[in-house]
Structure 1
Amino acid sequence: MSEGERAEELTDLVENNDLTGIRLWLAEHRPYEIADELSRMAGGEAIIPFRLLDKDRELEVFEELDPSQQQAILLGLRDSAFHEILEEMDPDDRARLIGEAPAKIATRALAGLSPAERKMTAALLGYPEDAVGRFMTPETVILHRDLTVHRALEVVRARGADAETIYTLPVVSDGRRLVGTVTLGDLVVSEDDRLLKDIVDVFAPRVGASESAEDAARLMQEANLVSLAVVDSEDRFVGLLTFDDALEVIEAADSEDMARQSGASPVGDHYVSVSVLRLVGARSVWLMLLIVAATLTVNVMQAFEATLEEVTALAMFVPMLIGTGGNVGAQSATAIVRALAVGEVRVRDLPRVIWKEARVGLLLGVMLAGLALAIGSLLVGFAVAAVVACSVVAVCTWAAVIGSAMPLLARKVGVDPAVVSSPMVATLVDATGLIIYFSIARLVLGI
């Protein structure tokens, strides 16, 4: 059965209030599949199948949902079920939910937690919204560097059930200062009488709790880590960023970049469940800004109106020229935004990046100019075709430079590089490309 048929089946069951059918459907599907289908429904509809879940699967499904969908589910639950779910959630997942929830839900959620869970949640909420401290888990098994392997394994067995992960184990000295990490596999294969300080990986990467969660997740991706140790300003261990949370951070960051590169604000929620008005709001602001910026192109056309009147054939190639320049600029901008995101380039690489992209744009321009010269010669004659060909070379080179420089300059001044990517670059290249085009026409044609 396809995903579309599966979703339609559950929706039909909910609409028909077929409780028996819903229970059977839920029993046949995995938690992540159930969560995906619930995300496609309005909050009022989703609460019906959620309430019919078995207790042992309820939390699994709930933690797979986005925070906004979790909020909608919570609003439909009685106080006892509301507090039971929040109490059983992992602290990092709970902190993100409460951090994004309206004040009314957040207050109600914190008030119902046990003192221990409330303390952990409050500690995580104390970090900035995009900091790794919001995404780490404090529920870990901490080992002292002077323990033997045998004793360390006993500690893991005794405390492991309450930890979110035991595959990466932090090793600390006095005062919880992080020495390094040891994997569960290292413990299992080591001699019982060996000390942890002899097998600990002191070079294991670590990050500060206030550092960017995206940077930490990218580091895990680059270093192939299952978990990443997180420390405070005094190098004391405070938690682990696990790979599942790192994947969510990267997915959210990539989704945000894709939205901004297309000239829209990120929505964040499941597309199917997002209202039309929210989609309009996410896209309209950027479109209004871009249409205002596009008036530069109109002003350039007015400034060179006399040139167009004298050689009307030049107007035929304006759409092709600005379209080509916009495409080249968008390609460069997209490549650099992606390279910045994964750490392949840095702001200090600006001169190298511009030099490389300028040569790329030049070679692309030469290739496209040959095609433009051949087509233009057949349509309007060699003289105008030569103007178009020379303009293509210049515009492609210029567009590649602009497209590569703007994201790096944006990062330097603290602006998200994706904000100044494809649409913004294309709009700027349109206006400046016309100036280049008409300037070359005046020079070559002597007008």
Structure 2
Amino acid sequence: MEADVLTALENRLTQDITPADSAELAALAAQVSIPDLIRVVEHVPAKRGALMFRLLAKDRALHVFEALDSGHQADLLAALRDEEITGFFTEMDPDDRAALLDEVPASVADKLLRGLTRRERDLTSALLGYPKGSIGRRMSPEVVPVRASRTAAYALDLLRNREAEYETLYMIPVMDDTRRLVGVVSLRDLFTAPADTTVADLMNAPISAYATDDEERVARELLAVGRIAMPIVDAEDRIVGVLTVDDALEIAEAADTEDAARHGGHEPLRRPYLSTPVLSVVKSRIVWLLVLAVSAVLTVQVLEIFEATLAEVVVLALFIPLLTGTGGNTGNQAATTVTRALALGDVWSRDVLAVLWREARIGFTLGAVLGSLGFLVASLVYGTSIGAVIGLTLLSVCTMAASLGGVMPIIAKTVGADPAVFSNPFISTFCDATGLIMYFLIAKAVLGL
């Protein structure tokens, strides 16, 4: 039944809508679950999504709005009335507000901040004071530490009386008298301990991060240790906020999406695909296409340099797609693997030589297998000389491409660039030109050209 209602709602949103249709749309939307409403909003233009928001109950509209990416939220704000914008913005968490403010014009951001209470404005402004990309922008400042000298009974009373000020109740930071982080205590330990037990006797050693640390690194660290939350401290180890596991998952997902996009040769959309304007999609792709078109000139120049060699042995031209494709794919595999290892913390910049040696061996082994097959097939059709050229080139190209693809992301990270910028198309183009040089040099040596 709900599937039929959902289909009817989607169909109505794609048609012309008049004020007289509002009652029908509101009735349909009221019967659809929140996850399905989120999917509907993500699949329609912002103006249509804003229309549906006006028909939803306030609590359902807020749930849907908070689930959207900050870029999509900004698009919706442009289509909503001022009072609706203020309502949504006031109910958001401070970290979600900070992310949204990065997406809207300065004039809109000022207006939104003025609509907040003094406390909420101070919390949000504090997050905006941290650098973009730092975990301070993504943490929740809504945390109330408990002193190590207090009893379990006192801590539980504090949780009951001030629970609205906590982002999470399951991990409580513990501080000393100067507000410096000294440990963490779980709600379970507080609940099961005798009332007069001090928090210092219950707390565990903290795993924390500085507010200026990179958001992706901190998020992945939290996910790796399997904790529900992580305290965030300032340069003097004073508690300033907390990162929860749901926010860490959002950060990691956004980073993975960005890496996947750049490996594919375009910038991430930061909005649902169907609700992203066509020109925005074009802008996300055109820069990379231009870069790759310019770098592809290298391949053309290599072919021009060895034009005489091709003229003497025309059959060499038949194997160019095989060799360039194999080199590009081998480099892409290595680059993708190492980029992922960097993101997960499995590989560090200091491991560049270890990675180079490892990928060289991997590439050599792959090249030996593929080269042997290439030698057999080419020898049967074109003779052993051509077979030797193909086999040796595959061995050389795979070794070179794997080594290059493995170290380029590490070099990028070392110089402060995004490893994902060395995307698959870029590495493919570079390996094409280098692989062709190796191919023709080997051909000239083996065939005596």
Shorter chain as denominator, the TM-score bin is over 0.9
Hey, which bits of structure 1, 4+ residues long, moved more than 6 A? none
SS of match in other structure, 2:102 = helix
CA distance in 1, matches of 2:5, 2:416: 45
Which deviates further from its counterpart, 162-171 or 402-411?
Answer: 162-171
Q: Please give the residue correspondences for 1:6-405 in structure 2 after superposition, counting only pairs within 5 Å.
A: 8-14=7-13, 15=15, 17=17, 18-202=21-205, 204-405=206-407
C-alpha displacement of 1:24: 3.4
C-alpha RMSD of the superposition = 1.7
Listed as ranges, the gaps of 5+ residues in structure 2 are: none
CA distance in 2, matches of 1:273, 1:88: 24
Amino acid in structure 1 at the alignment position of 2:98:
A
2:444 maps to: 442
CA distance in 2, matches of 1:29, 1:225: 34
SS of match in other structure, 2:174 = strand
Contact 2:146-2:175 within 8 A present in 1 as well: yes
Contact 1:358-1:400 within 8 A present in 2 as well: yes
TM-score norm. by structure 2 comes to: 0.95
CA distance in 1, matches of 2:416, 2:6: 42
C-alpha displacement of 1:37: 1.4
Listed as ranges, the gaps of 5+ residues in structure 1 are: none
CA distance in 1, matches of 2:299, 2:75: 46
Contact 1:125-1:134 within 8 A present in 2 as well: yes
SS of match in other structure, 2:310 = helix
CA distance in 2, matches of 1:139, 1:7: 37
C-alpha displacement of 1:7: 6.1
SS of match in other structure, 1:180 = strand
Distance 1:30 1:163, change over 3 A: farther
Residues 303-337 of structure 1, C-alpha deviations (whole Å, 9 max, x = no match) = 11121111111111111111111111111111111
Contact 1:170-1:181 within 8 A present in 2 as well: yes
Contact 1:403-1:421 within 8 A present in 2 as well: no
SS of match in other structure, 2:209 = strand
Amino acid in structure 1 at the alignment position of 2:199:
L
Residues 183-212 of structure 1, C-alpha deviations (whole Å, 9 max, x = no match) = 11111121211100111112x210000111
Contact 2:123-2:141 within 8 A present in 1 as well: yes
Contact 1:332-1:403 within 8 A present in 2 as well: yes
CA distance in 2, matches of 1:173, 1:108: 39
C-alpha displacement of 1:105: 1.3
Contact 2:389-2:442 within 8 A present in 1 as well: yes
CA distance in 2, matches of 1:12, 1:242: 38
SS of match in other structure, 2:144 = coil
SS of match in other structure, 2:227 = coil
SS of match in other structure, 2:363 = helix
C-alpha displacement of 1:79: 3.3
Contact 1:91-1:120 within 8 A present in 2 as well: yes
Contact 2:95-2:140 within 8 A present in 1 as well: yes
CA distance in 2, matches of 1:369, 1:148: 71
Residues 109-140 of structure 1, C-alpha deviations (whole Å, 9 max, x = no match) = 01111111111111011111211111111112
Contact 2:180-2:238 within 8 A present in 1 as well: yes
SS of match in other structure, 2:127 = helix
SS of match in other structure, 1:53 = coil
C-alpha displacement of 1:221: 1.1
SS of match in other structure, 1:193 = coil
Contact 1:140-1:166 within 8 A present in 2 as well: no
CA distance in 2, matches of 1:235, 1:345: 28
Contact 2:89-2:112 within 8 A present in 1 as well: yes
SS of match in other structure, 2:331 = helix
C-alpha displacement of 1:413: 0.7
SS of match in other structure, 2:49 = helix
Amino acid in structure 2 at the alignment position of 1:9:
A
Contact 1:337-1:421 within 8 A present in 2 as well: no
Q: Give the paired residue count.
A: 445
CA distance in 2, matches of 1:82, 1:316: 62
Which deviates further from its counterpart, 140-149 or 114-123?
Answer: 140-149
1:428 maps to: 430
CA distance in 2, matches of 1:217, 1:6: 38
CA distance in 1, matches of 2:202, 2:78: 49
SS of match in other structure, 2:368 = helix
Contact 2:360-2:402 within 8 A present in 1 as well: yes
